[in-house]
Amino acid sequence: MGMSFGYGPPADDNEMIALIRKAVEAGVTFFDTAEVYGPFINEELVGKALAPFKGEVVIATKFGFAPGPDGGRWNELESRPEHLRAVAEASLKRLGVEAIDLFYQHRVDLNVPIEDVAGAVKDLIREGKVKHFGLSEAGAQTIRKAHAVQPVTALQSEYSLWTRQPEEDILPTLEELGIGFVPFSPLGKGFLTGKMTQDTKFDSGDFRNILPRFTREAMKANQALIDLLIAMANEKNASPAQIALAWLLAQKPWIVPIPGTTKLHRLLENVAAADLVFSPEELVQIETSASHIKVMGERYPEHILKMTGR
């Protein structure tokens, strides 16, 4: 997402194509995009970058939003079967693939029964246009209803050391049903790298400007979590980002975080986190320390937050 959308102006296409291919060389096999990133340009970018690696990598994309008038703001949910079928056809073209490996509903649309959504994806799977069905930011009951119609392969939701809500009922539900979990923003939209302070300024087009956790007051208060990551990083000869990613990987074997970056050195740093192993005592140490830290600020403003956990 961050290569094309959300964090200021889109990055240079050629540089990002080279970076994505470096990721493949480094052993990354799972890539995440969506029609709304841009919109459209991120799917095209991913399709171009991964064209030489067909059959070697997995590409996930998403449906579930409707463009505003004249292609304007994409803030309305839309998951009617005819719409998601049109999105699938368009995504196939932009990605340059014969089948979408993993097709997520980007956000749950309360106007369309989830059984209808799952049934429409089931039809696309039968037709060979989609391989697997996924949900994003869905609640436990929605996951169960969808899974009963078409098995859900993966759920994508925000999860990290400063976003622990999925532990309450989502992780137990996924474990029971055999569904994989794909945490997005595993580095807290950059905050858990330890490279930000309360004085950090974002580009005018950066969506973190509207996020409650990125106010000056919240960033100052949440520095306690960074101090914890830095302390553990010093013990493990690692970076705070690597500690955050390795902690996620240590929670369950079926958790696959998807950190994003536009920089090669960050990509290599993130990949190396997979080699970092915690002892049981170290995991208890992190858990105990984190339990005393209260994170300040909601992760989204109210109008976006209400689209989650449905």
Active-site positions? 37
Contact 187, 241 (CB under 8 A): yes
Contact 68, 99 (CB under 8 A): no
Whole-number Å distance between alpha carbons of 287 and 50:
38
**Among candidates 30, 35, 13, 26, which has minimal Cα distance to 90?**
35
Whole-number Å distance between alpha carbons of 80 and 82:
6
Contact 101, 119 (CB under 8 A): no
Secondary structure letter of residue 255 according to DSSP: B
**Among candidates 227, 309, 252, 243, which has minimal Cα distance to 277?**
243
**Among candidates 31, 50, 119, which has minimal Cα distance to 82?**
119
Rounded to 5 degrees, what are φ and ψ at 160?
-170, -175
Whole-number Å distance between alpha carbons of 130 and 101:
6
Long-range contacts, stretch 18-23, CB < 8 angstroms, 24+ apart: 19/261, 19/262, 19/263, 19/264, 19/267, 20/45, 20/46, 20/49, 20/50, 21/49, 21/52, 21/53, 22/264, 22/267, 23/267, 23/271
| Helical packing angle, 223-236 and 280-291, nearest 10° | 160
Rounded to 5 degrees, what are φ and ψ at 128?
80, 10
